[in-house]
Chain A
Amino acid sequence: MTGMIEPKDEKSLVQLIRWAAAEEKPIELLGAGTKRALGRPVEATLALRLGGIAGIEDYQPEELVVSVRAGTRIADLDLALGQRGQMLPFEPGDWGPLLGAPARGATIGGVVGCNLSGPRRIKAGAARDHVLGIKGVSGRGEVFKAGGYVVKNVTGYDLPKLMTGSYGTLAALTEITLKVLPKPEKTRTLLAFGLDDDAAIRLLCAVAGSPHEVSGLAHLPHGVARRSRVAYVSGAGKATTAIRIEGPAPSVAVRLEALKAIAGKLGALEELHGSNSAALWSEIANGAFFAADDAAQIWRLSVAPTDGPKATALVRAALPGAEAYFDWSGGLVWLAVPPSSDARAQTVRGALGGLDGYATLIRASATTRQSVAVFQPEPSALAALSRRVKEAFDPKNVLNPGRMTAGT
C-alpha cells in the first residue's frame, strides 16, 4: 500500500483510473471507508477516497427524485430530504460502529455499492429498487452514464441495478439518481413478547400476508432483546417480536387495532411511539446488538422468510454459542457465531443446504475474510458469467480486485 489519494472531481478520477489500467496497478475504491472491512480484503497499490466528490446535484421534491454526487454522506442527504418531508425509502443501516468505523460517516456511494437496505425493504424495496440512474468511471477509465432521472424507464440495460451491490468492482460511481418517498406522517411499533422463533415468524408471515401494509417485521430472541437500548424491549425479559405500521394518522390507528387483535391472541402487547420506535428499528438495521462484542463473527443469511428459523435452528444445534435475530419477516437472519479461523463457514452454509438463499460474512478479521468465501460461491456457469461481466467493465482487473471473489 503506497497511500491514499482523494480526487476532487471526475476528471482527476478518470486520469487516475486510466493510469491504474495502463500500469495494471490495482486500486481500492472508498467512499468514507466505513465499510472497508466488508467483503474480502483488497490488495491495492493505491486507495482512492471518493468522499470529496460530494454534494446534492439536483433535488426535485415534487418529482420524488434526487441526484447526488456519490461521496455525499447519508447523514447530509437524510437532512436535506427531511427538510422537505422526504426520505430514502430503503432505510439503509449505519454499519460504521459494527465494522469498527465511526457512526454517521457512510456515503451514498458506499451504501449503493453494497446494496444496503434496512427493515423497510419488505415494503419499499431494496437500495437497488431506488437507483434510477448512475454516472461513473469504469475500469477502462471511461466516463459513462446509464438509467435516467425519471421513475419509469426501460431505455437500455438497467446498469444502475448492476452497479448497485457490485462493491466498486465495476466502476467508481460519481453521481447517483435516487427515487425518494414522503416520510410517513405517523409511525407505531407493536411489540409481542415471549414467542419462540417458529411462532414469531409464523405470526410475522401471517401479518405480511394481511392487508395492513406493515413496514417492519422483526423478531429478537431473548438473548438479543435484552441488549436493546429501548427499555420496553430490554426490560421485558423476554423475546420480542416487532411490527411497524406507518402512514396517515387515522389509518395507522385502525391498522394498529387490527394487528393487536391478531397478535394479542399470543400474549401481552406493548406499543412504541416516536423515538423509541425509531431507536429500535435503527438497532435492527445497524446490527447494533452485535456491535459491542468485537470478537463475534457476523453473518447475514438471506432466505425465504419461513426458512429463517429452520436454518437458524440448524446453526444453533451445531454451535451452542451462536446468536441470531430476524428481520424482513424472517427472510434476513443476522447471525453471530463464536469466533474461529473459518468463521464456521461450513456450518453456516451447510444450514442453507437445499434452501433458496445464501450467506454473507459481514464481520471477521482480514485473515479470515481472505481465506473464507465472504460471498456465497456461485455455481460454475454463473461464476464464469460474473467474471465476464467484471471483464466487460474492468478488463485489467484494477477496481477493488478480490473484493467479492478471489481473482476478481
Chain B
Amino acid sequence: MLMPKPEERLLAMRDDIVAALRDIVPGEGTIADAEALKVYESDGLTAYRQVPLAVVLPTTVEQVSAVLRYCHEAGVKVVPRGAGTGLSGGALPLQDGIVLGLGKFKRILDIDYANRAVRVQPGVTNLAITQAVEHAGFYYAPDPSSQIACTIGGNVAENSGGVHCLKYGMTTNNILGVELVLMTGEIVRLGGRHLDAAGYDLLGIVTGSEGLLGVVTEVTVRILQKPATARALLLGFPSNEAAGRSVAEIIAAGIVPGGMEMMDRAMIHASEAYCRPGYPLDAEAILIVELDGPQVEVDHLIERVREIALACGANSVRASASDEERLRFWAGRKAAFPAVGRISPDYMCMDGTIPRKRLPEVLERMRALSANHGLRVANVFHAGDGNLHPLILFDANVPGETEKAEAFGADILRLCVEVGGVLTGEHGVGVEKRDLMPAMFGEADLAHQERLKCAFDPAGRLNPGKVFPTLHRCAELGKMHVHRGQIPFPDIPRF
C-alpha cells in the first residue's frame, strides 16, 4: 500500500507545527513524544502502521477550529481520529501529517425524549448512547460489533452499520444533524432536531465521507423505542443454496426481520469450538433470523418463517423460547471473529455486499479462489442486507502469506462487484480498498466524487491518501473541455 510521498517541507517544520499546536491545545493535549505517538500508529486495520508528526487532542470546538485553521494556513495534513476501531485504515496516520483525535469530546449534551433526539459529542461511544436512554425504553439502532469502543463521530465518518440495517438502516438513516468544522476552521451546522435538512443534503454527504470533508464536533441522533419483544430462530440447512433460497423466500413473503445472519460450515465449527452456542454441526449453513416488534406480531412471524425454512429444506429448526436462548443463538455469531482468531494465527476480514440471490454462486466461487490461493476462508454474512464478511485465515509469520491473503481478499471484492455488488458494505474504503475503487467506478465517476472533495477541501489537506486511488489537483479536476457548436438535433420538434 503506497501512501502519498511525504513532503520534506512538512517533515522539516515539525517543531514549528508542534509549537503551534501547543499554543492552541496546551499541556498533555499535544503529543510529540516518540513513545506516546506510537499509540496512534494504526487503527483497527493493524497491518498498516505509521507514526504521525504529532497528535493533538482538543477539548473544545474552538480548539478544533483553531487547529484546522492553522493547518489550512500552514498547509499541514490532518488525519481525524475517533476511537481508532475502524477496519479500513481511515485513521492511518501520515508521516508528514498530524492526527486530530476527538477522544476528549465525551459528553452527552441533551436528551429530548419527546422529539426522540439525543445531542452528543463525537467521542461518546455508540453503546453509551443506548445506555443513556434505555431506562426510558429507548435505544440507538445502528450497532456495529465494536459498539463498546467505537465512537459516534467515527460512526458518522464511516456510516457504520451492524446487524439490524435491513430494518433500521445505517448511521446515515439514524442521525438528524451534525456540527462540522471545515478545513478552513469555519463551523457549520447541518440539520438539527428536525427531519429533512434544508438545502443540499450535505449531512448525507458528510456521513460516510471517511474524514475527508470535515471534522464532526457534535452529532444529533434519532433514538427509537425498544421493540416490545424479540425472538430468534436458529435454522440449519444441508446446503448454502437451501439457506440462500430461504432468505429470498422470507423477504418475498413480505417479512423484514430485525436481523438475519448466515454462517457457513467453517464458521459454524469455529464458533461451536469457541463458545458452544449449540449450533447444528451437520449443517452446511445456518441462519439466525430475529424478529422484533409487538409480541403478537413476533409470534405470528416466527411461525411463518419456520414454515418457509422447512419448505426450503431446513433440517433443524429451533425457535427461542426465552431471551436467554435468543442470546445463546447470537453468542456464536457475535464471537465469530475471536473464534476464528483461535483457529488461525491471523485473519483478514473482508466486507463486500452482493445481491442476496447471488450468494450460493459467490460462496462456490470463493471456495475455488480459496483453493487457488491456498488459504482457508470462513464466512459470516448479514443475509438480510447482502453484506458478506469472509474471514481469510493466514499466518503473517509465514513469508508471503500476508500478500497472498491480500490478493485473495482483492479477488473476493472484485467478485462482489462483478455480481452486481459493492466493495464495502460498512467498513469503508480507507486505504484498504482504495486501489480497488476503479473496479467499481469509472474515471468520470471518481472525478465527480473528487470534485466534491475539492468543494470542501481544495488544497487536499484533510486525510489525503484515503478512498481515492490517485491524488488529483483540484485545478486539474475542474478543467472542462468545451466544444462550441450548433445545438444538437435542430430538427427535434419544439413544443
Contacts and interface: CB of A to CB of B under 8 A. Distances in A.
Contact of B300 (A2, A162, A248, A385): A248
Nearest to A127: B196
Contact of B254 (A156, A185, A331): A185
A162 B186 contact: no
B32 interface: no
Interface in B406-454: 420-429, 433, 437, 440-442, 444-449, 451-454
Nearest to A61: B252
B355 to A, nearest CB: 5
B448 A138 contact: yes
A130 to B, nearest CB: 9
Contacts of B448: 138, 142, 144, 146, 159, 392-393
Nearest to A49: B495
A304 B222 CA distance: 11
B385 A151 contact: yes
A352 B159 CA distance: 31
Contact of A18 (B187, B253, B483): B483
A255 interface: yes
A293 interface: no
Interface in B135-178: 137-138, 158-159, 161, 165-166, 169-170, 172-173, 177
Given A15-B488, A162-B204, A247-B294, 10 more contacts: A3-B495, A4-B494, A46-B487, A62-B252, A144-B448, A158-B205, A162-B200, A182-B256, A382-B189, A392-B452
Query: Which of A166, A182, A385 has the most B CB atoms < 10 Å from its CB?
Result: A385
A12 B491 CA distance: 13
A198 to B, nearest CB: 12
A304 B115 contact: yes
Contacts of A181: 256
B322 to A, nearest CB: 19
A128 B204 contact: yes
A146 B453 CA distance: 15
B367 to A, nearest CB: 22
Given A138-B448, A386-B200, A205 B182 contact: no
Nearest to A358: B198
A21 B385 CA distance: 40
A404 B199 contact: yes
A154 B182 CA distance: 22
Interface in B204-230: 204-205, 207-209, 225-228
Interface in A271-307: 302-306
A157 B159 CA distance: 10
A121 interface: yes
A209 interface: yes
Given A328-B195, A378-B198, A385-B188, A150 B421 contact: yes
Nearest to B165: A152
B296 A209 contact: no
Contacts of A375: 198-199
Interface string B277-305: 00000000000000001111100110000
B487 A19 contact: yes
A6 B478 CA distance: 29
B202 A21 contact: no
Nearest to B353: A150
Interface of A: 2-7, 12, 15-16, 18-19, 21-23, 46, 60-65, 85, 115, 117, 121-122, 125-126, 128-129, 138, 140, 142-146, 148-159, 161-162, 164-166, 170, 181-183, 185, 205, 208-213, 247-248, 250-251, 253-255, 302-306, 328, 331-332, 356-358, 360, 375-376, 378-379, 381-382, 385-386, 388-393, 395-396, 404
Interface residues of B, number: 108
B424 A165 contact: no
Contact of A158 (B138, B172, B199, B495): B172
A251 B425 contact: no
Contacts of B189: 379, 382
Given A154-B426, A385-B202, A209 B170 contact: no
B196 A117 contact: yes
Given A63-B357, A385-B182, A388-B455, A302 B198 contact: yes
A138 to B, nearest CB: 6
Nearest to B304: A248
B44 to A, nearest CB: 15
B89 interface: no
11 contacts: A3-B495, A63-B356, A154-B170, A154-B208, A165-B201, A170-B200, A211-B137, A247-B297, A304-B117, A304-B194, A306-B114
Interface string B344-378: 00000000011111000000000000000000000
Query: Which of B187, B228, B429 has the most A CB atoms < 10 Å from its CB?
Result: B228
Contact of B495 (A4, A122, A146): A4
B467 interface: yes
A139 B200 CA distance: 16
Interface of A is mostly: mixed
A302 B196 contact: yes
A161 B355 contact: no
B204 A392 contact: no
A152 B480 contact: no
B422 A153 contact: yes
Q: Which 10 A-B pairs have the closest CB atoms?
A: A161-B204, A356-B192, A251-B297, A182-B254, A3-B494, A388-B455, A304-B193, A392-B451, A15-B488, A22-B482
B316 to A, nearest CB: 24
B208 A158 contact: yes
A62 B356 contact: yes
Contacts of B445: 144-146, 156
A2 B452 contact: no
Nearest to A133: B422
A23 B485 CA distance: 8
Contact of B385 (A152, A209, A386): A152
B141 to A, nearest CB: 12
A156 B159 contact: no
Contact of B227 (A23, A152, A161, A211): A211
A121 B150 CA distance: 29
B201 A213 contact: no
B22 interface: no
Contact of B114 (A62, A63, A185, A209): A209
B251 interface: yes
Contacts of B387: 152
A39 to B, nearest CB: 12
Contacts of B467: 156
A197 to B, nearest CB: 15
B484 interface: yes
Contact of A248 (B173, B186, B249, B297): B297
Given A4-B495, A5-B489, A302-B194, A213 B421 contact: no
A152 B441 CA distance: 17
A149 B420 contact: yes
A145 B449 CA distance: 10
B465 interface: no
Nearest to B160: A154
A209 B113 contact: yes
B382 interface: yes
A154 B207 CA distance: 9
B2 interface: no
A19 B488 contact: yes
Given A161-B172, A302-B198, A328-B195, A389 B455 contact: yes
